[in-house]
């Protein structure tokens, strides 16, 4: 969706926030045309929406802002960079919007990406007199917490209850489609829905795995080692299986070894390489956890018929093959 993010309409919550839409409308159209990524979630009154990340922002003046403490306000979190010309061009409108609505419960937090030069960010904030909070994401942790944001500008709008939601996304895309004839509206929505469903799946299973001291990454790693011959696996093969970088797999292996669930030993065929193998406690743990997760998976699919599940499987495999061809061709 315009890169890896989606554009979403800004809705009214208690006060007329549509001015934000008008002030950012030109930027949204331009971002769509350029294929940039804007993940602006709706300002919605519903409590059923997923909660925002549990993050703390540290501003340029050293003040800490817990996002959870902002409930009762409309919060815009924008990821930006001084090297982003679109970001720079929209700053005057963001300043005007913030000044107009700040007294009525609107908060704006501008997060500079990890690759941005901190001194340049400070100079820009001083020279423009930015009235809202400016934050440095030097570690990249904030971007990872917000849907693993990589492209700027990316905008998140959060309601008075601290919720992110998908509901109004389709309405917003409909309005953008009216300004950009030829937009494949149904496929844009569907693409974003894949990201949204994946995040929900990850959150749900992390919640279940937490009681065992696991998360989705450690669980999958233990399961993959269990599935390998003699319960031993080379880290590079684990990297391929988890679709993760070697660096992340090394960190993951360190965590598993430190927890006593996995041992790291020289490979029996090539002592220059290492293998990961389950310890007795690791094997016992994964054999306990797997049936629990299988039960959760059955519950997850209870509303689908066998025919629907088979069709879903067929379509996803077809999409995966198409994406592979698309990647090779591009």
pLDDT digits (tens, 9 = 90+) for 89-123: 888 888 988 898 888 888 999 999 999 999 999 99
Enclosing domain of residue 25? 18-181
Residue 12 lies in a domain: no
Q: Do residue 153 and residue 297 come from a single domain? A: no
Task: Give the CATH number of the domain where residue 135 resides.
Answer: 3.40.30.10
Mean pLDDT of the chain: 77
Give the residue with greater pLDDT, 62 vs 31.
62
Q: Between 205 and 30, where is the model more confident? A: 205
Residues 163 and 303 in one domain: no
Query: pLDDT tens across 121-173, in order?
Result: 999 999 999 999 999 999 999 999 887 888 888 888 787 766 655 544 555 66
Specify the pLDDT at position 28. Answer: 31
Give me the pLDDT at residue 114, please.
Answer: 94
Whole-model pTM?
Answer: 0.50
Give tens-digit pLDDT for 4-17.
333 333 332 222 22
Residue 293, classed as helix, strand or coil, is helix
CA atoms of 301 and 142, how far apart (whole Å): 33
In angstroms, the CA 220 to CA 230 distance is: 17
**127 occurs within a structural domain:** yes
Please tell me whether residues 173 and 81 are part of one structural domain. Answer: yes
State pLDDT tens for residues 209-226. 999 999 888 998 999 889
Tokens, residue 42: 């709706």
For residue 49, tell me if it sits in a domain.
yes
Q: CB under 8 Å to 236, separation ≥6 — which residues? A: 246
Shared domain check, 172 and 74:
yes
Does 32 share its domain with 171? yes
**Domain presence at residue 286:** yes
**How far apart, in whole angstroms, are the C-alpha atoms of residue 253 and residue 249?**
6
Do 174 and 221 belong together in one domain? no
Q: From residue 182, how far is each of 5, 40, 186 by CA, in Å? A: 19, 22, 11
Domain count across the chain: 2
Whether 7 maps to a domain, the answer reads no
Q: Please indicate, yes or no, whether residues 41 and 121 belong to a single structural domain of this protein.
A: yes
Please tell me whether residues 117 and 242 are part of one structural domain: no
């Amino acid at each position: 969706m315009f890169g890896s993010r989606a554009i979403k309409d800004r809705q009214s919550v208690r006060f007329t926030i549509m001015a934000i839409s008008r002030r950012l409308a030109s930027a949204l159209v331009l971002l769509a045309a350029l294929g940039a990524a804007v993940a602006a979630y709706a300002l919605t009154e519903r409590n059923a929406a997923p909660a925002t990340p549990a993050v703390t922002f540290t501003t340029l003046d050293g003040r800490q802002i817990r996002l959870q403490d902002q409930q009762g306000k409309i919060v815009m979190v924008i990821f930006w960079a001084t090297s982003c010309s679109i970001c720079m061009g929209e700053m005057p409108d963001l300043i005007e919007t913030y000044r107009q609505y700040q007294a009525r419960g609107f908060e704006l937090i501008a997060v500079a990406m990890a690759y941005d030069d901190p001194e340049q960010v400070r100079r820009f904030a001083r020279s423009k007199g930015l009235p809202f909070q400016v934050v440095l994401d030097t570690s990249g942790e904030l971007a990872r917490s917000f849907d693993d944001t990589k492209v700027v500008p990316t905008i998140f709008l959060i309601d008075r209850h601290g919720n992110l939601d998908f509901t109004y996304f389709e309405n917003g895309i409909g309005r953008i489609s009216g300004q950009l004839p030829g937009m494949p509206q149904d496929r844009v929505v569907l693409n974003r829905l894949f990201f949204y469903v994946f995040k929900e799946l990850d959150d749900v299973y992390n919640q279940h795995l937490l009681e065992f001291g696991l998360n989705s990454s450690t669980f999958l790693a233990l399961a993959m080692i269990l599935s390998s011959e003699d319960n031993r696996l080379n880290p590079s093969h684990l990297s391929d299986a988890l679709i993760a970088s070697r660096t992340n797999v090394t960190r993951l292996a360190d965590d598993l070894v430190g927890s006593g669930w996995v041992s790291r030993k020289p490979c029996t065929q090539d002592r220059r390489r290492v293998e990961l193998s389950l310890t007795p406690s690791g094997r016992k743990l994964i054999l306990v956890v797997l049936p629990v997760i299988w039960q959760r998976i059955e519950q997850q699919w209870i509303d689908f018929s066998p025919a629907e599940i088979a069709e879903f499987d067929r379509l996803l495999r077809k999409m995966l093959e198409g994406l592979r061809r698309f990647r090779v061709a591009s």
